[in-house]
Structure 1
Amino acid sequence: MDYAIALPFGGPSVVDPEWVTEFALHAEACGFESLVVAEHSVMVGESASVYPYSASGRLAVAGTSPIPDPLELLSFLAARTRTIGLATGALILPHHHPVVLAKRAATLDVLSGGRLRLCVGVGWLREETEACGVDFATRGRRADEQIAVLRKLWADSGPGGADHDGEFFRFRGALCHPRPVRPWGVPVHIGGHSVAAARRAGRLGDGFQPLGVSGAELRRLIGVMRREAERCGRDPGALEVTLSCPLRELTPERAAALAVAGAHRVVLQAGDEASDLEKVKDLMEWCAAAR
């Protein structure tokens, strides 16, 4: 398995250029496969939406906490690192126009030497999605079409360009250069905790990142992804599975269990220790030595 590491979600550290640079360089030196950055376009002071990844139903990060744009942050870190992968986890796809996103992602991929991976989701915070001008109820269909648009614009469509006539997006003769380093484009993984996300991964993704699930439910969702891939004539064995684990909880036994669950990659997440860079660096070194 590969091991990635997530930057802290929110807080002053992630907008401190010296702090994030040192975090990224140390992760690269320790041999981590990639850096992972999550997204929220805006936060909402009063929300009726339920956060699906905590028992309280509330996101622990305050709405006033700095949450940088993931592609901008990854671009900053791309210029300061050399080999470590750069990944979103997850980019909220319906909030982005796919024509603009295709150019942004391809540019970052080319300038970083092909290091970008997009993990995308459809979002859970209704008020945030609506603030971005998107109908919350149609975000799943929109995301499916957005992935199709990204693939078309990244493909070699010849001098005539790419055409698309969909429910949400339309264009003719579109040429998007530079194209990503890989001939098939930037890898697009699907993040989420629902059957719809698992099916989307099997049907359209290069991988699946189940969020907030474990045990029997995790096995069920991975099975859904694989069956959907087979139904669509795709090879389920070619789809990567990315799982998560708290940085301080990675033991040989936990790593073995994640491998048995089907993980190709494990994203390690810092908890309360994230505010102490030296402590996080020590944990990175411990994990690197232990795996």
Structure 2
Amino acid sequence: MKFAVIAPPGAGQSADPDWMSTFAQHVEMCGFESLVLVEHTVMMSQYTSEYPYAPSGRVDLSADCDLPDPLDLLSFLAAHTDTLGLATGVLVLPNHHPVVLAKRLATLDRLSKGRLRVCVGMGWMQEELEACDVPFAARGRRADEQIAVLRQLWAGGAGGVDHDGEFFSYHGAVSYPKPARASGVPIHIGGHSRAAARRAGRLGDGFQPLGVRGKQLIELLDLMRTAADAAGRDADAIDLSLGHLASRIDLEGVASLERLGANRLVLATTETADLEELKDEVSACADRLELR
């Protein structure tokens, strides 16, 4: 089992270089596999979209909370760590042009010596996607094509590659540097919906259905495996990342999630700006999990 830690977005410290570098170094020192960063390209002061991970339907982040670009922040943290994995959870994929994103991801992966994992989502806030000129109803089709573009550009050689799709088109495109790994940057699919489960089975290197438990989780995992089988893929080769609280996870909880097929736990921390309190929480979690 691998253990990842989410940097707390609600702490409002993500744009503080000293705070973030110290936190990342502590997570690495404690023996965790990776650090996960969230993304919102923009927050909206007013929105009618329903946040799917809270009963209130409202996201528990103020519109003026610092939320740096996760890839730029991961690049910064790559220079302040040595072995810590660098991950998004999630990158709102439809907001990004895939030709530009292919270069950004490959560059970060190459310079960090293969430490990048990108978990992508379709986005729940319609107002955010529309601010990025993305039709909300088309975001799933757009994302499928984006994933194909990313992988084609990473795999393509000096002769260039061609693509004519619904949303993107190019001919003879050459994108270097390549990712550190010949297989490209791992692309995991985040989300709690049936569409996310099917997308993970068809296209994902991993599936990250955070915030889902019990019968709903079992149904999503079955759907993911069915989609993988239909696509001729090995469902067992798709990484499964499940969520838990850093303050409550223990080895018994790990064993129960492992029985569901999880090979990574993504742990949410307390949303506090008190760095010492947060470091103590991470240290205590590492001790309970016997990471050091």
TM-score range normalised by the length of the shorter chain? over 0.9
Residue 253 of structure 1 deviates from its aligned partner by 2.1
Residue 184 of structure 1 deviates from its aligned partner by 1.3
**Bigger mean CA offset, 260-269 vs 144-153:** 260-269
SS at match of 2:4: strand
- The 4+ residue runs of structure 1 with deviation greater than 4 A are none
Q: Deviations over 1:159-191 (max 9, x none)?
A: 211111100000011110000011110000000
Contact 1:229–1:235 (CA<8 Å) still a contact in 2? yes
Out of 267, 270, 273, the position equivalent to 1:275 is 273
**CA distance in structure 1 between the aligned counterparts of 2:210 and 2:187, rounded to whole angstroms:** 16
SS at match of 1:243: strand
SS at match of 1:280: helix
Residue 275 of structure 1 deviates from its aligned partner by 1.8
Alignment of 1:170-249 (within 5 A): 170-249=169-248
Gaps (5+ residues) in structure 2? none
Contact 2:270–2:278 (CA<8 Å) still a contact in 1? no
Alignment of 1:138-157 (within 5 A): 138-155=138-155, 157=156
Give the percent of matched residue pairs that are identical in Structure 1 and Structure 2: 57
> What is the total number of aligned residue pairs between the two structures?
289
Say yes or no: does 1:288 pair with 2:286.
yes
TM-score by length of 1: 0.97
Residue 146 of structure 1 deviates from its aligned partner by 0.1
Alignment of 1:1-291 (within 5 A): 1-155=1-155, 157-272=156-271, 274-291=272-289
Contact 2:240–2:262 (CA<8 Å) still a contact in 1? yes
Residue 261 of structure 1 deviates from its aligned partner by 2.1
**CA distance in structure 2 between the aligned counterparts of 1:252 and 1:261, rounded to whole angstroms:** 15
- One-letter code of the match for 2:224? M
Contact 1:241–1:265 (CA<8 Å) still a contact in 2? yes
- One-letter code of the match for 2:68? P
- One-letter code of the match for 1:142? R
Contact 1:11–1:67 (CA<8 Å) still a contact in 2? no
Residue 158 of structure 1 deviates from its aligned partner by 2.8
- One-letter code of the match for 1:280? L
Gaps (5+ residues) in structure 1? none
Residue 15 of structure 1 deviates from its aligned partner by 1.0
Q: Deviations over 1:59-99 (max 9, x none)?
A: 01011111111001101100100100000000000000000
RMSD: 0.9
- One-letter code of the match for 1:165? D
